[in-house]
Every structure is written in structure tokens, then in C-alpha cells.
């Protein structure tokens, strides 16, 4: 299926590693021109050197700085010539017993995982309306925002908030031909899960909770991002797509 992504301008945050990197590679593989945003310049430049159909443009941004985040939509238009899609992937997930958590950490999680999505979505939404050609936003949330996870109270709360923001904006902006959806990944073999994947006993225990009896490869994430970023999904909005090997389905 031709997803008609060739030449499209796409902005992906948290693109230097993990699922963000997989999303950027998949979109560029479909011919999109991608502004890959993260804090680590070296990783971004390495990503930009990979052979893909489209082109990957590295750009360093601190997602805790609202002014920098708000400017990303304009940067995308400047670097790519246009902006059609935003993939809000950047996020942090510090684990802590909530009774002992420093509320400054809670605030940082909310700033990066919720406020940055809101700020960038507003900037992109204004650009989409100004262009008059619609647009798409894909928010990467988590199954933790659906079920809640012990020791991840701040993260779970932030992802739950991001899910509701997705639905609210989808309802508000549909008349502008702007589609907004969320993807809730479960267990993927990324750098963030190195502690699990590097310990056979912990990995076996984790996998037993997943009906598919395995963790997913990051490359399995990209196709869904591409579909929701494409014009083929123009009547899909406000949805939350769970990709977790059936883990939340059994709850």
C-alpha cells in the first residue's frame, strides 16, 4: 500500500533512540522528510546518516524548554519546506516509590510528557490551520497510561493525561481536517528496557505476563506510526492504538 508519505514534512521528537528512532527511520523509509529532534546530537547525526528513501534532518532541542518546543513547528517548515505530521514521542519514566518521590521529579515528568506535547501540538495545529491543508499528530503514550504501574505513578499519570489530551484535541480540531491519535506501546526491546532484557530471570518473568510470550522489536512499531501519519487515515482520529502483544487485553 502506498501511504503517500513521499515528500511529506514530519517532525519526530525523542528520535535519537528507541521507539522514536524506529518511527523516524520508518517514516523516512516511506519517503518522508523527517526533522529528528532530541537532546543528543551525536545520536541524531548517526541516525541522519542511515540510508533511507527520504531524508532525516537532525535537530537538538531540550523538551523542558517551552520556548524551544514552541519553535519546533517553525523550524520544521524552515528545514523541510513544509509540516504535515508531528510525532510526539519524547518522554521520561523515572521509577520511584511515590511516598519517597521528590515532587520536582513529578513536575519534570509532567513537563516533558504532557506540557511539551501540548505546546508542540498547539504550535503545529496553528500551522496546519494556517496552511489550510490539515495535518496529523501522533502521540506516543503507554499502556501505563491505561492500566497504571507501581513505581511509575508520575509516568502513568502523565500518559493518562496525554491520552485525554489526544481525545480532546481530536474532537476540537476535526473540523480543520487535523487528525490526532495515540499509540500505547507495551514491552519493546529498547535501550530503556536494558535492565529487563539483560537479565534472563527478569526477562522470563516479564515475558510470562505477555500473551505473545515475547517483547516486541522496535521495528514492529514503525508501520503503525506510518499509517497514522498518512492520508489513508484521514477519518481516524481520537483513537488509542495499543501495541502490546495482548497484555492489556487480558486485564
CB 72 within 8 A of CB 120: yes
Asked whether 111 and 153 are in contact (CB, 8 A), the reply is no
HEC string of 111-155? HHHHHHHHHHHHHHHHHHHHHCCCEEEEEECCCHHHHCCCCCHHH
Contact 84, 31 (CB under 8 A): no
Active site residues: 155
The radius of gyration computed from the CA coordinates of the chain, to the nearest angstrom, equals 17
Sign of CA dihedral 37, 6, 8, 177: negative
The angle formed by the CA atoms of residues 79, 118 and 223, to the nearest 5 degrees, is 65
Give dist(CA 237, CA 213) in Å, integer: 31
Amino acid at each position: 500500500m502506498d501511504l503517500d508519505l513521499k515528500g511529506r514534512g514530519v517532525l519526530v521528537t525523542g528520535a535519537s533512540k528507541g521507539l522514536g528512532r524506529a518511527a523516524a527511520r520508518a517514516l523516512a523509509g516511506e519517503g518522508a522528510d523527517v526533522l529528528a529532534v532530541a537532546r543528543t546530537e551525536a545520536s541524531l547525526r548517526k541516525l541522519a546518516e542511515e540510508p533511507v528513501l527520504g531524508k532525516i534532518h537532525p535537530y537538538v532541542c531540550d523538551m523542558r524548554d517551552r520556548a524551544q518546543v514552541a519553535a519546533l513547528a517553525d523550524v520544521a517548515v524552515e528545514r523541510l519546506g513544509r509540516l504535515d505530521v508531528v510525532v510526539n514521542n519524547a518522554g521520561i519514566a523515572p521509577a520511584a516509590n511515590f511516598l519517597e518521590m521528590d515532587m520536582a521529579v513529578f513536575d519534570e515528568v509532567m513537563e516533558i510528557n504532557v506540557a511539551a506535547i501540548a505546546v508542540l501540538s498547539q504550535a503545529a495545529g496553528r500551522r496546519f490551520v494556517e496552511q489550510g491543508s490539515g495535518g496529523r499528530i501522533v502521540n506516543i503514550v503507554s499502556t501505563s497510561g491505561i492500566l497504571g504501574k507501581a513505581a511509575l505513578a508520575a509516568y502513568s499519570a502523565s500518559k493518562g493525561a496525554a491520552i485525554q489530551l489526544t481525545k480532546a484535541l481530536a474532537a476540537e480540531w476535526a473540523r480543520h481536517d487535523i487528525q490526532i491519535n495515540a499509540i500505547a506501546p507495551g514491552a519493546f526491546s529498547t535501550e530503556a528496557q536494558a535492565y529487563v532484557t539483560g537479565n534472563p530471570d527478569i526477562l522470563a518473568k516479564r515475558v510470562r505476563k505477555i500473551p505473545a510470550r515475547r517483547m516486541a522489536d522496535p521495528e514492529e512499531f514503525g508501520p503503525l506510526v506510518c499509517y497514522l501519519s498518512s492520508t489513508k487515515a484521514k477519518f481516524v482520529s481520537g483513537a488509542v492504538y495499543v501495541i502490546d502483544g495482548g497484555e492489556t487485553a487480558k486485564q
